[in-house]
Each structure stands twice: as C-alpha cells, then as structure tokens.
Amino acid sequence: MLSSASARMPLRAGAAARLVAGQRRPAAASIQAVLRKATPGASRSVQSVAQTDRDTITRLLYSIGTKREVERHLRIFSSSSHPSQPAKFAVIKIGGAVLDDIDELALSLSFLYRVGLYPVILHGAGPQLNDIMEREGIVPDYIDGIRVTNAKTLQVARRVFQEQNLKLVTALEKLGTRARPITSGVFSADYLDRGKYGLVGKITKVDKRPIEASIRAGALPIVTSLAESADGQILNVNADIAAGELAKELEPMKIVFLNDKGGLFHGVTGEKLDVINLDEEYGQLMKEPWVKYGTKLKLREFKELLDHLPRSSSVAVISANNLQKELFTDSGAGTLIRRGYKLFKHSSIEEIGADRFRQVVHDRDADVLSGFSSVTEVLSNLKNTPYSIYGDEPLDVVAVVSHPEGEIPVLTKLLTTRQGVLNNVIDNVFAKIKKDHKKLFWTARSDDENRAWHWERAEGSFTRNGKSLFWYGLRDVDEVEDAVELFEERGRIERAYLPVSPSKPASTPAAVPSGVRTYSTLARRAFGGAASTPGAKRGYTTAAVPQSKKLALIGARGYTGQALVSLLNNHPYIELTHVSSRALKGYSLEGYQSKGLVNPADQGKEVIYSDLSEADIERMEREGEVDAWILALPNGIGTRFVAAIDKGAKGRMVNVGEKKGVVVDLSADYRFETPGESEWVYGLPELYNRAEIRGATRISNPGCYATSAQLMVAPLLEYLKPGASPTIFGLSGYSGAGTVMVEGKDGGRPQSAPKKSLESLNGTTLGYALTDHIHEREIGFHLSRLFPETVAAAANPSSFVSLKQQLQVGFIPTVAPWFSGILMTASIPLAKRLSARDVHALYEDKYGKEPLVNVFSLNDKENKEKGRVGGVVPVLSDVEGKQGWSVGGWGIHSSGERVVLVGGLDNLLKGAATQCLQNLNLALGFEERAGIPLD
C-alpha cells in the first residue's frame, strides 16, 4: 500500500538528509495519559486491560499520523508480532541512560503491548554501573572503548543488570503489561581476549527459545546483555553488540536503539539526520570530515548488521517518548537507517534487460492484468517517443517517463512491488524523477486505494471518467489545459481528461461550509484559488478536484427527502438542480441554496419545486440535464420513472467511460434483484462489494431496519447454529412510518405531517407487521449472499444452495414514541461457545476500519469517556442524529452458545439519506464520505 503521508527522502551524497524537528506532539502525551489511566484495578485482569484499551490507543495514534499510514504500519507489524510467529516485529535496545526515566520508558513499551505487538527488549546499564562502582571505590578501566571486567566489576555488573531488569519488569506490570525477566540463557560466548579485557565475551551463539516462550505466553521478554561461556562463566557483553547478534538470529523488521538524544546528528550543523540509505550513501558519508569517532563506529556497526538481515529490516535510533511517531508514521521522529538500493536511470529497456522489463509489465501493470492492454502494446508505445526508465537494481520499482523534445514529460508507468513500497524505494525513485523533470503529468484510477500517495506528490489534479490526472510544476490552469489538449492530440494520454466545460473550469464558490473541502473542475492548489482545506499538508489548498455533478431528487417532501437536502446542501461537488413534488410545485426548497458549482451565476439562488412528468424525465436524461437521479418515493411508484430514465439514456451521448442514467432508489422496488442477473446493485457498502457500487448505474438503497439487522448478524454468520434463526426486535421512531401532506394555513404552503405521532402513540409503543415484514425478507435475502457454504452444508448437506436462498431471521418491528432513531436487539444462536471478547473481536475485525461504524467497547467506563451515553449498550442518544451505525451489548448466555447484541442507527440518516449519499458518491466516482459530516 502506498504511503499517505510525506515519505522520508534519501540522504544525498555529501549532504545531510532532509531534517525534521522530531518534537513530540501533544498526541504522544495523550497516548501516555490513556496508558496511565488504564492501569488495571483489582477487578480487571491484565488481558482485559490490553484488549479493551487497544481501540482507544489505536485511535489516538491517528493524531500523530494519518489513519491510512497508522493502519498500514499496524497491519504490517501485527503480521510479524504474534505469539504464533514470535520475535519478528522488533528488537529494542535500551541504553542505560534511558532507564533513568523508567516511567516514560514503560509507558512507551506498554503502548506497543496494548496494540498487540511483542518486541524483544534488551537493555544495558552503563551509567548505573558507573555510579555504583564510583560509590564503592572501583575505578573503571577501558581499552579500545571496551570496559575491562574483573571479578569485582562483574559482580557489581550482575547485580546492577538484575536490578535494572526487575525495575523495568515491575514498571511494565504496574501498567498491566505482562513482562518476563530473562537475565541468562540467551547468549553463549567465548572470551574476547581474557588477558586484555578480562571477563568480556564475544557472542558465539544466541538461543532464542526463552524469548519465543515468553512471547507465546503473552509477555514481553526483557533481556540483559550478559553471556555465559561453555564452562558456565558469566561474561560481560556490550549491549549494542548483543542487540545486533540477537537481531541477526531473529531477523526482525525493526531494530530500535533507544537513547536519550533521539537520533544521529550532523557533525557540522548539529541537526538530526532523518534517513540514511546505506547502499547509496555509506561510502560518501564515511568520507565526510564530520563523520568520525563514535559516529563512524555506529555507522559501520549498522551497516555490518543490516548486511546480515533481509532488506525489509531497518534500524531506528530514537528517544523513548517518540517511539510511537517513529514506528507508526512515515515521517518518523528519529534517524532511520536502511540498506536501500542504488537507483538507475536508463534510456532503453535493453539496458535493464528486455525480458526482465516484459516480466515486470506482465506481473504488475493494472491495464495488462485487467485485459485492457497487453505487454506488446506497452512495448510498442515506448517506440513512439523518447523515454527514460527509472528504478532500483532488483526492479522493486520501475517507472517510465515519456519526454519528447519541447513537451512536458508524462510518467506513463509506475510499477512497484510490496517491498518497493515498504522500503520507500518508490519515494526515492519519484524524488529522482522530480530532480530530472521540473514539470510532470501522471495518471491513476479514481478508485485507486493509494490515491493519497499521488495527492501528496502533486500540485494539482482533476478526475474524469474514472481516472485522475495529476501534475506538478505548472503555473496556471490554462497551461494545464493546453498541455492536456496537446497530449490527447498526440496520443500521449487517453482522450478522457479534459473537463466538461470547453475551456476554463467552473469557479470555486465564495462561501464554503466549515470543514468541507472545496472542489471545482481543476485543482487550485498551485494557482492561488480561494478554497482552502483545513489542516492540509505542505500548504496545499485542496487535494483533488472531481468534476461537479448535477442531481435531481424526485419525491423530496418526506422526512428522508428533507434529510437528503440537508446533506446535499453541504456537499462539496454535487449540485441539487431539480426537486420534484406534485404537492409543492412552485414553492422554494427549504434548507438549500445553489452553491454555483456548475454555473457560478447560480450561486445563492433558491431551488424551486417542479412536478416532473415521465416525458420531462426522459428528455432531461437524453439531453444530459442531470448526471444522477434519487428516487425518494413510496414503494411501487418509482418504476415508471426508471423506465423514463432508461428511454432517455438510450439516446444520450456521453464521453468514453462516462456514466449515464445513474439512479439511487430509496424504495423497496429493486431490493430483491438477484446479483449478477440484474443491473441493479444493492447498496450496503460496509457488507457488499464496493466495486460493484462504483461500477453501477442502478443502486437500490437498503431499508433502515434491514441495514441495521444485516450489519448486526453478518460477522456471526460463520458461527450461526445450523437450522436456527436469529431473532431481531426493532424499535423505530415514528418518522419511520412516513408522512402525509396536509393543507397549509389559509391555503398556504402544504406541510408534511407524520402518519404516526406522539399523540397517536399516546406515550407507548405499537407493534405492527409482526410477521412477514418486507424487511424480514430483505434481511434474509441479502445475508444469504454472505452465508458460508460450510455452515449451509452442515445444516442441509443435500442442498446448501436452497438453504442459502432460504436463510431466515425472525424480525419484530415496533414504533416507539420518539421522532427518529432505531434500536434493535438481536438474539443469535451459535454453533460453538464464544466469549464476549471473541464476539467483540469479530466485530472489530469486520468493521474496525469502517468510518461509519461504531463498535462499542467491552468496557463501560471507556465507552462513557468517549461520549457513549449508554455505556456498553447503545441507547437512543447514541444513534439519534448520528450518521453511522453503532453496535454493543455483548451479552453471552451462560451456555456460551447464544449472543445478544444491541445495534442502532438513525433511520433517516444511515438508514436512508446518509447511505444514499454513500452510494451516490461511489457511483459518481467521488470519495465515499464526501458531504457526510463527522459525528
């Protein structure tokens, strides 16, 4: 996955690397504060603390880096830090000076444990040993920087090492972090030179079994740098050397040296070095006059160590209080040392080998893999224009830049492996390209999960027909458009990127809702546009600029329509141009003013209700008067409007790749279409294929009850008891019953009135459609798509297909005496025993990265600290007016074979309008959360 934050740049030969301040951010203090508060009391087990605090700490990490980079690092590290695969995450060497601030150190290490990581920790104790020896009158003796160790010195050293080891273990245990002292049994050694250094050892063997046993037991191993000879003599070993030998045996991803300085520093400027790529820079660095003594020794040791390790391994020198920033952000905070690779630049594929290049294109090129192009076509296109190929020796990254004389270069191919991303080779290659070319264009798919990487490196962009065009180094919009026109004429890019308008893009609106990104046809970052993005990096004004779209809403008078209008009023690049309601024809649309996204002259104008006929709709679609339609109509009414859109779409001309006839229907008319056999796609992004929604023109919006129920049951389908059915009881606010139109006073504007009200409910609840509710069938129909075949076959071995089609749930709907918000209680029978923690983990795994899903913690206090009024169990105020869906409760029957959950959402938002906007954004190529405010 490509980085979403500024990646570290290489240290150029003869010069210092890009330097970072490395100051500790307030977020780090917040993480430490959470850890202090999380110390377990008598009623909480250590394991419980580690589990329940992980979510909080992970979310706090987002404040020191972007969510994408934090989650990427967590995922990478977690895959190499599990009791089943121990000691692959990190070896952390702690200098003795760092042990003096034991509380800060323990908090930083406990933080790693809380997010499920198990580093191997090895410590020294030099300063503490010196203090005690001075108090006891023992004069230290050094030869070649090595402490001469006699029996008296070793006796003191053993005592000091054990004391410091126990001190660290105790500090960690107080924080609820399990730790195991390992003061012997890891290192075997011979005498380094007994006559010269005394009882000093040279490590000959590392036994990793005590370390692996500690991690398998769920405890951090705390190791001292003492070794044993073959005859059982304890020998003193330099802690840095011990850490290196340990790393050679374990081959971890990270080797971290914690010191009190926080990094390596330039000998002339005194500034901290950010990154050192040894393969490129080591030779030149060692010749620098300021690289001498300890610095030269450290660099030599680091190179010797990394030469023995996989290229994915790296060394970091960092202070304890910046450990989180170093490990979980791309910018880091200390000094990162890695091997890297020497980069190349060639003018023909023959220089790297035609067969090697062919294989790279065959294995990595997205267009080749999807069948839109072939290796032969790629090679043929290279013959048409001068080009350069950039990359690294093992071809983890290969980039092709086309640069005809007198024209702006285009990066036509950027092909990378996972290792090329993890080791930041891609950033180094891009830096080399940028050094050679002051201007550059390149493209990426609009749904590319790595678009943030492109945004960070571009000065502008726009999206068209499913692809985004990025650039840097251009002065103004006219220069961009002239270049793109020339590219299209000469076939250097697809004829798909020019904006809809024939020349200049639409102006950015003068007034923008707070906290919403402003978009127009082209990016304004490099051209001093009016729009600004709060918190944008590098002073950029905005990130990327999709083409604004025009929308028609049919049936806007009900509660769902009103909720949609409210969201659309803050949408950064959808303009609501038409609203249709027979009862309100001629009246202005309340709560909405044109933003002028399509026509700047319309900014601030009111939108007037019309009564669109089927002929009007057919004409509007045929002439491209709108880009998308939302149908917010009662069941059974929208089909004739869809037919009119179909007829209009057949006669509509669009550019290649552009969509026509995009419809999101909020009724139940198309919710039971069979996937793969119909053009209609069921739009529940958190459960079903987002790619299907992105590619669709017809999307059926799920029902409100059905949305919540499916989200509740889905993570447990694999564990569902064969032949049993989940039972779901739902309470909905009376807005879910819909509205009727009533005459306004004195013949004025008609008004919407609820079909049910507080008065009609008389303060109680009202059950309705107690069996065979349409949502009951909808829940079972779609969950069947996720139902595991193994579970189905166990229940009915002869015909699991028919069983999947008949997956049943029992659903009981009830109207409650409040306006909006649904609370549902699900009782789900299980085929095997599960604990509350097991169930919670399943929901975290399923929804932990979904921005509109709120998985409540198992801890009541933690939930309330996060503002969840009901604690573990969601209550009405936790869902009413909120954009997303919440789940909690985690009730487990004493048998362990039935779980009871409570879930909820606002029926007008995630149950209707918000989900509609998610689907519309995906279908139109926008970011899924565009226009949807954070709760």
698-748 pLDDT, tens digit per residue, is 999 999 999 999 999 999 998 998 888 899 999 998 886 555 445 555 556
The lowest-confidence range among 192-201, 653-662, 705-714, 836-845 is: 653-662
Per-residue pLDDT reduced to its tens digit, 870-922: 889 999 999 999 999 999 999 999 888 899 999 999 999 999 999 999 999 99
Strands 226-228 and 822-829, by their bridges, are unpaired
Q: Which residues on neighbouring strands pair with residue 179, listed in sequence order?
A: 220
Return d(Cα 524, Cα 545) in angstroms, integer. Answer: 8
Of 378, 404, 438, the residue at which a domain comes to its end is: 438
What pLDDT is recorded for position 760? 65
Helix (H, G, I), strand (E, B) or coil at 213: helix
Q: Give whichever of 306-315, 598-607, 626-635, 925-934 has the largest mean pLDDT.
A: 626-635
Q: 402 and 327 in one domain?
A: no
What number is the average pLDDT over the span 328-332? 72
42 band by pLDDT with thresholds 50, 70 and 90? very low
Per-residue confidence band for 269, with pLDDT thresholds at 50, 70 and 90: confident
At 160 the pLDDT is: 93
Task: Give the CATH number for residue 736.
Answer: 3.30.360.10
Residues 840 and 770 grouped into a single domain: yes
Tell me, yes or no, whether 377 and 479 share the same domain. Answer: no
DSSP 8-state symbol, 274: -
Residue 632 sits in a domain whose CATH number is 3.40.50.720
In the chain, the percentage of residues whose pLDDT exceeds 90 is: 34
pLDDT exceeds cutoff 60 at 41: no
CATH code of residue 223:
3.40.1160.10
Do 115 and 236 lie in one domain? The reply is yes
Asked whether the predicted pLDDT for residue 821 surpasses 90, the reply is yes
Q: Could you tell me if residue 369 is inside a domain?
A: yes
β-partners of residue 826 are 728, 901
* Total tally of structural domains belonging to the chain: 5
In a domain, 457, yes or no: no
Whether 242 maps to a domain, the answer reads yes
Could you tell me if 474 and 422 lie in one domain?
no
Average pLDDT, integer, range 386-398: 90
Which range, 122-126, 280-284, 558-562, is most confident? Answer: 122-126
The larger pLDDT score, comparing residue 254 to residue 901, is at: 901
Q: Does residue 501 share a domain with residue 371?
A: no
Q: Please tell me whether residues 838 and 710 are part of one structural domain.
A: yes
| Pair 529, 560 in one domain | no
Q: What contacts 750, CB < 8 A, 6 or more positions away?
A: 583, 584, 741, 742, 743, 744
Closest Cα to residue 171, out of 121, 226, 237, 244? 121
Whether 381 and 469 share a structural domain: no
Asked if residue 930 is part of any domain, the answer here is no
Give the model confidence (pLDDT) of 66-94 as tens digits: 555 566 666 666 655 555 555 578 899 99
CA angle 419/425/427 to nearest 5° reads 130
- pLDDT at residue 579, rounded to an integer: 94
pLDDT of amino acid 504:
31
Alpha carbon of 705 to those of 533, 693, 735, 873, 931: distances in Å? Answer: 36, 21, 13, 18, 23
Residue 17 within a domain: no
- Residue 576 dihedral angles phi and psi, to the nearest 5°: -80, 105
Environment class of residue 784 by beta-carbon count within 10 Å: exposed (0-12), middle (13-18) or buried (19+)? Answer: middle
Which active-site residues does the annotation give? 704
Half-sphere exposure of 321 (CA within 13 A, CB side): 17
**Residue 518 pLDDT more than 80?**
no
Domain end, chosen from 525, 547, 569, is at 547
pLDDT exceeds cutoff 80 at 775: no
Beta bridge partners of 123: 94, 224
Both 137 and 44 in a single domain? yes
- Establish if 104 belongs to a structural domain: yes
Whether the CB-CB separation of 86 and 212 falls below 8 Å is answered with yes
pTM score, whole prediction: 0.46
Domain that holds residue 660: 549-669
Residue 9 lies in a domain: no
- 275 with 424, same domain: the answer is no
514: burial class by Cβ within 10 Å (0-12, 13-18, 19+)? exposed
**Packing angle, helices 67-79 and 46-61, rounded to 10:** 140
Q: Residues 721, 793: one domain?
A: yes
Q: Please answer whether residues 887 and 858 qualify as being in contact, where contact means their C-beta atoms are separated by less than 8 angstroms.
A: no
Residue 428 in any domain: the answer is: yes
Mean pLDDT of all residues in the chain? Answer: 79
The pLDDT of 9-17, averaged and rounded, is 31
The predicted-structure confidence for 91-146, as pLDDT tens digits, reads as follows: 999 988 888 889 889 988 888 888 788 899 999 998 898 888 888 877 778 887 78
pLDDT mean over 425-447: 86
d(CA 270, CA 288): 14
Judged against a pLDDT cut of 50, whether residue 534 lies above it is answered with: no
CB 658 within 8 A of CB 465: yes
Query: If you average pLDDT over residues 649-666, what whole number do you get?
Result: 80
CA dihedral 315, 321, 323, 328 (to 10 degrees): -140
Q: What CATH number does the domain containing 367 carry?
A: 3.40.630.30
